[in-house]
Amino acid sequence: MDPNTANNDGDVPVGELRVIIGNGCGVTSCLCNKHCIGCTSEGMLTCWRWEAKGCRPVYGKNVHQTCCVLCNGGAECVKPQTCCLLQQQFCCLDSRCALPCTKEVPCICTGLPGCVCCVNYKMKFGCCKKWNELIPQEELTPSMQGSGGGNTTIINVVEQHPPQPVMMVRQPVVQQQYVVAQPQMLMVTVPQGVMVGQTITVQTPTGQQLQVQVPQGVFPGQQFQVQY
């Protein structure tokens, strides 16, 4: 997939949000650019997850060459990953909350509207600052670094592990021995009333039942050999 198309799907560019009110686990921000059109909603409440978008323009390259997301969304039952996670955006107003706080929804507190005093439990002051200006560069998630888009990414996270070296173990060669069974011979006595060419049932010493035909020249009371 082209990296230029990875986030151009109508999501909110989190890094471009300007903080208005922060009360710790909840943040209300303003989005004043071309991405403010339409509405989005995404969240998780224990094992229930939902996502919805409406009237969201899509800028730049994308996989399906979409220019506007008219209506898209769904709800699903997932393995719980957090207690509560919510994001809602309507035009230029964006509200987010998380319990507990995450990298995508950090702990932000404001003393006055627009005046940030605390970020991630550390004293930090700023007025009308964007998210990507308040969060240290090393703590930025991909959705906060630029304006390409990207909603909260804590939902359905797949942990990546580095490849482990493969140890080649040489297995000893086992030689198999096969025992060829020798054929057994059984003497069969022709019952009275049985003619040449008729089929009779005989039982071997091992309990196996055989269907054999009386050969030519053998009459009732005489014997012939059967191999089994």
User: Looking at residue 157, what is its pLDDT?
Assistant: 42
CA distance 46 to 85: 9
Residue type, 120: N
For the chain, the first-to-last Cα distance in angstroms comes to: 68
Is 93 contained in some domain? Answer: yes
Q: Is 132 helix (H, G, I), strand (E, B) or coil?
A: helix
User: Looking at residue 7, what is its pLDDT?
Assistant: 45
Is 56 contained in some domain? Answer: yes
Taking alpha carbons only, the member of 95, 105, 114, 157 closest to residue 135 is: 105
User: Looking at residue 22, what is its pLDDT?
Assistant: 92
- Structure-block tokens of residue 163: 């490849």
User: Looking at residue 91, what is its pLDDT?
Assistant: 92
User: Looking at residue 159, what is its pLDDT?
Assistant: 46
Is 205 contained in some domain? Answer: no
Domain span holding position 56: 3-145
Cis upstream peptide for 100 (omega within 30°): yes
User: Looking at residue 5, what is its pLDDT?
Assistant: 40
Is 174 contained in some domain? Answer: no
pLDDT averaged over 10-residue windows placed end to end, the chain, 228 residues: 47 88 91 88 90 88 83 89 89 91 87 90 88 76 54 44 66 66 82 84 84 85 84
User: Looking at residue 50, what is its pLDDT?
Assistant: 92
Query: Hey, which residues does 87 pair with through a beta bridge?
Result: 42, 96
Is 170 contained in some domain? Answer: no
How many structural domains are present in the chain?
A: 1
Is 89 contained in some domain? Answer: yes
CA distance 82 to 87: 14
Give me the half-sphere count of Cα atoms (radius 13 Å) on the Cβ side of residue 14. 22
Is 78 contained in some domain? Answer: yes
Is 184 contained in some domain? Answer: no
